[in-house]
Structure 1
């Protein structure tokens, strides 16, 4: 039951389909094999960071002999579960040990995002952390940046369990989950009472993005969803110009829905505030890099701003290729935003004609409505469009 609830906390907040969950506690470790977002097998193993330390460490520090004896015992227990061997799926850790591993790794990297949820640690960095932890006596371990002083005495045992799981599962990545048993209890209740009995949310990204929007007024919500539809239409029609994949399309959808959330802080600089709020919101189903990418789109949702771009807080998470396509998708979001500058949802339909030298965007709108505000906002983006896409943007306004 503990494994099931931990699974519900994870599956509704992490966008993986196939993985192995471990919930490492003081006296036991729950292991769950997940395929296609469903539990395939689970077990509670009688090994935990506290009991292993108490059983095998006789003095103030582990001796090499004691440590080797403990590792053999861990390996023996894990190897009694042949269904785990060589699954080559990512490990997903919940609980205090996993969170402390993430904190230590983030501090070493001066990582720009402080959240631990969905943080990824490759095998080689994990082993470097384990070597460091094992090389220091307790007094020095307590000073390791990111390691809780209350956990410093049992961290060697905890990380040894994770190390053996890494090797037995034969995987390359540890993903840290910030949601577990507590959230699982909530989703169990929520699913049975509000989702027709199914506690597994089908689309956790859009569901969580819409949760972030709940504080918006109805008018703001209509505008946000309208911008999302326009941006998605342009993404599809202009695919040959940007070649973005489905993951980037989802990033654009989220950025479109949340592009105005910064107005809760300040209207005039809401793009900058929205960038920070998006990264720090409870958005589920996105990697940290995807959240940084979406934040980049929000920051530039009124057109690319060189100063903000240069000082982009989460820029170190994006490579040159991601920045390049991010600039193109920022223009798409900016045009979608401009198309509803008046917040009246006047655009009825969009159609594009693409040639080597130009993109003709045909915009249909009600003939009896004044769209001067919209025209002015869109025309301002013709020059930035040409800079990014190397084509002239020709706007054809078509009253219907």
Structure 2
């Protein structure tokens, strides 16, 4: 099957960006190329509302340079969308005509409503957040939405962005205290005009370059140990600290801040103030970054055509399927181990062994799909590879702490290795939670040992309690010697977690 590439050019008020995606086996789009040009088109808008000739020429030269990149790919589809700077121009037709004639690019100007919708769509199709607010501050506009049960309820586009706020409120590159106070009051008043922007007590999801830079700064200041930005969570005090920290710096120092793009140094303060003021307005319960935004939303709409809905049924299930495809995991074995794991889990739960909960089963089932996937790279160091890959790979639908839990369960080898993996993150978990994760990891490893040869030799099981000990009878339809050897060898990890002795009894039965 030939590779399917898709391209989108996003003509923003601050940057013009080309992104090329590869459609993978699961049908999802994976970013393979990302080229940015800081055009700052909104600065070319004259008082009469026209985008100047210099602005048009800047856009044309940028698109022509992108065309050279596009020529190296065989594309299934190429889309070009433009937002606030072009949308607010009174000479839109002139711009579109010039772009078409001189670059061959058909540029589509998306409405304020569409821009907000695409941001929302990107968030609900790449996270498991069912209710929240989104905010996307560009150079010339700011889109906000509110969604509940994954459905868009409200949306609005404010006619100001990071560049236009800076131009309006700051005389120089950096604001005075009075200018910053005036900006804050203006934002408070603006957000107060929408009755639905208040007391939400749900997450505020940041989209776009400004939000990404704020998160990168926060991660660098904290020496954050995990890779990835998508679904990273900050709180009110984090946003406040970043804002106050950046305000104290000179432009020269701002341009050297780790995590802050040099070309955003002069507009990061207005963007940060938008996030912080909106956070306080809606009384958010966290600020979460979505790496997926307008560009992704446009393609999500394209990919879901004919489905009757723009929403993927389950974001997390899609991500797990992507991992199964990427690491060539044996789905037949996974389903058989899940069957045995469910039997063992239900009988433990029924007999009060291990204090397992319904939530434990959800996490166990998810980890069972990707258990020991690091074997794909190297069998000898599979636990290390499994942990690193899962802990440091973006998994749509999982917050960072949940991704870490998944990595710890799916990479479980023994208590020593578990302690080694969890050590840098010990402060993230209480002792009881550490024990629970280790118990689930040991349980999962035990269940995989029951199918160590991938033949489905063990078909069923029965748990009996004898005083403080457990007797597990395993009914087999094939020679079970390899499974018996592995489970006898590994059961000690489950015994330590449950604080019970386990007697294993293998019985051959007719298939």
* TM-score when normalising by structure 1: 0.92
CA distance in structure 1 between the aligned counterparts of 2:355 and 2:230, rounded to whole angstroms: 29
User: Which stretch shifts more, 72-81 or 233-242?
Assistant: 233-242
Q: Taking structure 1 as reference, are residues 65 and 382 closer, same or farther at Cα in structure 2, changes over 3 Å only?
A: closer
After superposition, residues 96-135 of structure 1 pair within 5 angstroms as 96-135=209-248
Rounded to whole Å, the distance in 2 between the matches of 1:59 and 1:11 is: 39
Contact 2:227 2:393 in 1 (8 A): no
In structure 2, C-alpha distance between the alignment counterparts of 1:378 and 1:95, rounded to whole Å = 49
Q: Which has the larger radius of gyration?
A: 2
Q: CA deviation at 1:209?
A: 0.3
**2:337 equivalent to 1:210:** no
Q: Given the superposition, is the C-alpha separation of residues 385 and 60 from structure 1 closer, same or farther in structure 2, using an over 3 Å criterion?
A: closer
Unpaired runs of 5+ residues, structure 1, are: none
In structure 2, C-alpha distance between the alignment counterparts of 1:128 and 1:116, rounded to whole Å: 19
5+ residue gaps, structure 2: 1-113
Structure 1 position 292 matched with structure 2 position 404: yes
Name which of 93, 112, 134 aligns with 1:21: 134
Alignment of 1:202-351 (within 5 A): 202-217=313-328, 220-239=330-349, 240-300=352-412, 303-307=413-417, 309-312=419-422, 315-316=425-426, 317-351=428-462
Change (3 A) 1:245 1:120: farther
Tell me if structure 1 keeps the 8 A contact 2:126–2:396.
yes
The change in CA–CA distance for 1:373 and 1:242 in structure 2 (over 3 A counts) is: same
| Residue of 153, 167, 171 corresponding to 2:284 | 171
Contact 2:121–2:297 (CA<8 Å) still a contact in 1? Answer: yes
Distance 2:357 2:334 in 1: 22
The Cα of 1:382 is off from its aligned counterpart by: 2.9
Indicate how the Cα distance of structure 1 residues 216 and 320 shifts in structure 2: closer, same or farther if over 3 A, else same: same
Q: Deviations over 1:238-293 (max 9, x none)?
A: 34334354444333222211123212211211121011111233422222111111
If each structure's strand is expressed as a fraction of its own residues, which one has the higher value? 2
Cα contact 2:228–2:393 (8 A) shared by 1: no
Closer/same/farther in 2, CA of residues 11 and 313 from structure 1, 3 Å limit:
farther
Counterpart-to-counterpart distance in 1, 2:394 and 2:338: 19
What is the CA distance between 1:103 and its match in structure 2? Answer: 1.0
1:245 and 1:145 map into 2 onto residues whose CA distance is 43
Q: What do you get for the CA RMSD once the two structures are aligned? A: 2.0
Deviations 1:340-377 (A, max 9, x none): 101112222233234550222222221xx211001111
In structure 2, distance between residues paired with 1:261 and 1:269: 11
* Structure of higher RCO (CA pairs closer than 8 Å, 6+ residues apart): 1
Q: Is the 8 A contact 1:261 1:270 kept in 2?
A: yes
